[in-house]
Chains A and B, each alone.
Chain A
Amino acid sequence: MTDKFYEFFCPVKVIAGKAALEHIPYELSGLAAKRPMIITDKGVRAAGLLDPVVSACEESGLDIVSIYDDVPPDSSKAVVRDIAGIYRSEKCDSIIAVGGGSAIDTAKAVNILVSEGGDDIAKYSGAGVLKHPLKPFFVVPTTAGTGSEVTAVAVIADTEKHVKLPFTSSFLLPNAAIIDPRMTLTLPPHITAATAMDALTHATEAFTCMAKNPLSDAYATAAIKKITGNLLKVMDSPKDADGRLELAQASTMAGIAFSNSMVGLVHALGHATGAICHLPHGLCMSLYLPYVLEYNLETIREPLGELLLYLDGADVYAATPASRRAEAAISAIRRMRDALYKRCELPRTLKETGKVLESQLDDIARAALDDGAIMFNPKEVSLDDAKAVLARAWA
C-alpha cells in the first residue's frame, strides 16, 4: 500500500486579466454585498492605484462606503480594532483589500473581528479557531510576489507583548482574488525584481520541500515558467502589461503552490533576517535561494533537476545530462540574479545589502532554527548548518 498522502485546498475564485477590476461589482452582488469597505495603504493611494478600483465600482452603481488608507507596513492589533470600528459605524458589509502583504493581512484580521465580533483580535489567534465563514472578502494585489491573496494565514503584531500573532484558517481565504495588470504596471524595478524572486522562491521551495504534492507541483512549475519567461522582459519594458499580468498570475500560482506544500530553509532564514536586520522579504528570498538549494542539493537532486526545464527551457534541459540538471538549475537561478543585479542592483549577498553586519549572522542562524518553515525543509538543519549557509551567503 502506498504511504503517500497530501491535502490540497484553494477555493479562491481567481479573476485575472484585462478589465478584471470591472468584475468586482458583479462578484460582490453575487454575494449580496452592497456596502464594501476598501482597506489599503498610503503608498497604494499615492500611486493612484485606488482610482481604477473605485471607478470600476462606481460605474456599476456600487458605492465604496469607506476607504481606510493608513495600513502600516507591520500592522498591529490597534490598527485592526480601529478599522473594524469604522467598518461597523459605516455599516459596511464586505471588504476589498487593495495592496501588498500588510494590507491583505490586515484586511483578513479585520474580517475576523467584524464577522465574529469583539475588539480583541488576539482572541482568535492560532490554528482552527474560526468555525464559520466570514464576510465577503476580495483581494486586489498590487505586488506580484507575496501570494497572500491565496493563503489562509495572516500575521498581526501585538505591540504590547512584542509578539507576532499568527492566524490560520481556511475561512481567511478571500472569496475572490482580482489580478489586473493595471495594479502592478507602476511597480518600481527593484520591487518588481524582489517580489518576482519571492514568487520564484515560493514555487521552488514548494516543489522541493517535504510537503510537495502533484497539485502544488503543477502550480509551482507553471509559476516558474512564467517568471523566467517574463521577469527580465518586464524589467526592460516596465509598461509591458502582458508581461506584468504573467508575473502577477505567477505570483498567485506560486502562492497556491506554497500554501499547500509549505516552504523551507530559505524562508526560515529570510524571516529571521527580516526580523533582525529589517531587510525586505523578497530581497531575502532572492539572496538565500541558491545557497539553500546548494545546501539541500543531495536531498532534492531529482526534483531540482526537473525544475531546469522550467528555469532554462527545453533545449537546455535536453542538452544537460540528468546527473547535472540540479546544478544547472541552481546556475540558472544565479544567472537570473546576476541579470537583476545588472538592471536594478538587487543584492546577491548579505554584504551587498549594506544593512547586515557579519556579527549578526549567529543571531540570524539561531532565530532561523526556531522558524516554523524549517520543519518542512527536506534536510535537517543544525545551528552549524545554518551558520555555514549564512557564511556562504555573506559575500
Chain B
Amino acid sequence: MLAKRIQPMFFQARRLYVELMFQVMGRALQAVSEIDETVQQEANALPEGFLFEMMVMPDGARLIVEHTGNGRFRYLGDSAPRAVDLSIQFKHIAHAFLVLSFQEKTSVAFANDRMLVDGDISRAIRMTRILNRLEAFILPKLIAKRAVKEYPENIHLPEKLLNAARIYLKVATNFVETVKA
C-alpha cells in the first residue's frame, strides 16, 4: 500500500533527476571542450555546426550540444535549431536513470540495448569517448569507475582536481547566466 503511494513520487523524482543530469552534462560538455585539449582534438573531427543530442524516448528529457568549431561545444538546452546530426536515445527513462545514476556503464548500456544510435556510429563512438573523459574528470574516481569501461590511468589527481573545479565553476556560471536570462 505504502509502496503504491510512494511510486508516483519516485517516478517524479527520477524524471527530475534525469532532466537535471542532462542539464549538468550539457553544460559540462561545453566546459570540458573549453579546457581540455584531448576533448578538443576528439571534437575537432566533427563538422562545424554538428548537432549532438541525448534524449529519452519517446519525447522525454534531452540535451543538445553544437560543435561550434575548433573542438568547442555549445550547450543549446533541450531544443535544436535544426535536425540533429546524431542522436543517442534511451529506450526508457528507467534506462537513462541507470546510466545517469552510475548504476550501469555507458558501454554496458549500449551492450544491453538500452540505447539506440540514430546517425553515424563512428561519431557516436567519438562522443562516447568525450563523455567518458568528462566523467573521469568530474566524478570521484570510485564513481567514475562505475561509469566508464576503464578509468584512464593517465589522468592524475592534481590534473583531475583542477579540471573538475574549472568545469564545475563553468557549469555553475552557465546555470546562473541561464537563470538571469
- Check if B110 sits within 8 Å of A380, measured CB to CB: no
Is B37 engaged at the interface, CB distance under 8 Å to the other chain?
A: no
The answer to whether B172 has its CB under 8 Å from any CB of chain A is: no
Kindly list chain B residues whose C-beta atoms are within 8 Å of the C-beta of A5. Answer: 112
The answer to whether residues A262 and B111 also contact, given A3-B103, A3-B104, A379-B150 and a CB cut-off of 8 A, is yes
Binary interface profile of A, 111-149, with partner B (CB < 8 Å = 1, else 0)? Answer: 000000000000000111000000000000000000000
Instruction: Given A3-B104, A376-B110, verify A127-B125 contact (CB < 8 Å).
Output: no
A126 to B103 alpha-carbon distance, docked (Å):
29
Q: In A199-214, which residues have CB < 8 Å from any B CB? A: 209-211
Which residues of chain A have C-beta atoms less than 8 A from B117's C-beta?
Answer: 127
- Specify which of A211, A369, A374 is in contact with B111 (CB 8 Å cutoff): A211
Question: How many residues of A are in contact with the other chain, CB < 8 A?
Answer: 21
The reply to whether the CB of A166 lies closer than 8 angstroms to some CB of chain B is: yes
CB of A375 within 8 A of CB of B119, answer no
A371 within 8 Å of B by Cβ?
A: yes
Min Cβ gap A31→B in Å is 29
**Please, which residues of chain A bring their CB within 8 A of the CB of B116?**
127-128
Residues of chain B contacted by A376 (CB below 8 angstroms): 107, 110-111
Chain B 93-136 interface 0/1 with A at a Cβ cutoff of 8 Å (1 = within): 00000000001100110111100111101111110100000000
**A370-B125, A374-B125, A380-B150 in contact; A210/B103 too (CB < 8 A)?**
no
Q: Find out whether the CB atom of B121 lies under 8 angstroms from the CB atom of A211.
A: no
A286 vs chain B, min Cβ distance (A)? 24
Q: Complex Cα distance A372/B126, Å?
A: 10
Asked if A166 contacts B104 (CB within 8 A), the reply is no
Binary interface profile of A, 362-385, with partner B (CB < 8 Å = 1, else 0)? 000000011110111001100000
Residues of B with C-beta under 8 A to A315: none
Give chain B residues whose Cβ lies under 8 Å from the Cβ of A262: 111
Is B149 located at the chain interface by the 8 A CB criterion? yes
In the complex, the answer to whether A375 meets B125 with C-beta atoms within 8 Å is yes
Contact B121 A372 (CB under 8 A): yes
For residue A366, which residue of chain B has the nearest CB?
B45
Q: How far is the CA of A369 from the CA of B129 in the complex (A)?
A: 10
Give Cα A209–Cα B124 distance, bound, in whole angstroms. Answer: 19
Are B112's CB and A375's CB within 8 A?
A: no
Cross-chain contact B108 with A210 (CB below 8 angstroms): yes
- For residue A7, CB closer than 8 A to chain B, the reply is yes
Residue from B108, B112, B123 having most chain A Cβ neighbours under 10 A: B112
User: Contacts of B124 on A, CB cut-off 8 Å?
Assistant: 372
User: Secondary structure at chain A's binding surface: helix, strand, loop or mixed?
Assistant: loop
CB-contact partner of A211 in B103, B112, B119, under 8 A: B112
Q: How far is the CA of A380 from the CA of B147 in the complex (A)?
A: 13
Is B107 a contact partner of A371 (Cβ separation < 8 A)? no
> B110–A166 contact, CB under 8 A?
no
Q: Which of A241-277 contact B (CB under 8 A)?
A: 262
Q: Are A370 and B126 touching (Cβ within 8 A)?
A: yes
Question: When chains A and B are docked, how far (Å) is the Cα of A127 from the Cα of B124?
Answer: 13
User: For residue B108, which residue of chain A has the nearest CB?
Assistant: A210
A369 to B38, CA, bound (A): 15
Q: Is A210 a contact partner of B107 (Cβ separation < 8 A)?
A: yes
List of A residues within 8 angstroms of B123 by Cβ: 370
Write out the residue numbers on chain A whose beta carbons fall within 8 Å of the beta carbon of B126: 370
Closest chain-A Cβ to B94's Cβ sits at a distance in Å of 11
CB distance from B89 to the nearest CB of A (A): 9
A128 CA / B104 CA spacing, docked (Å):
24
A128 surroundings in chain B (CB, below 8 A):
116, 118
Whether A7 contacts B113 by the Cβ 8 Å rule is: yes
A370 touching B122 in the complex, CB below 8 Å, given contacts A127-B117, A211-B112, A375-B110: yes
Taken together as a complex, chains A and B put the C-alpha atoms of A262 and B123 apart, in Å, by 18
Quick one: which of B128-181 are within 8 Å of A by CB? 128, 148-150
Those of A1-44 within 8 Å (CB) of chain B: 3, 5-7
Minimum distance in angstroms from A9 CB to a CB of chain B? 10
Q: Which residue of B lies closest to A212 (CB)?
A: B111
A375 touches B122 (CB 8 A): no
Cβ distance B5 to chain A, nearest Cβ, rounded Å: 22
Contacts of A369 in B (CB 8 A): 125
Nearest A residue to B119, CB-CB? A126
Measured between C-beta atoms, what is the minimum distance from B147 to chain A in Å? 12
Q: Considering the chains assembled together, what is the distance between the CA atoms of A128 and B113 in angstroms?
A: 13
Q: CB distance A126 to B118 under 8 Å?
A: yes
Cβ of B101 to closest chain A Cβ, rounded Å:
13
- What's the Cα separation between A372 and B128 when bound, in Å? 11
B interface residue numbers (CB < 8 A to A): 103-104, 107-108, 110-113, 116-119, 121-126, 128, 148-150
Apart from A126-B119, A209-B111, A210-B111: 4 A-B pairs, beta carbons within 8 A: A3-B104, A6-B112, A211-B111, A370-B123
25 contacts between A and B (CB under 8 A): A3-B103, A3-B104, A5-B112, A6-B112, A7-B112, A7-B113, A127-B116, A127-B117, A127-B118, A128-B118, A166-B121, A209-B111, A262-B111, A369-B125, A370-B123, A370-B125, A370-B126, A371-B121, A371-B125, A372-B121, A372-B122, A375-B128, A376-B111, A380-B148, A380-B149
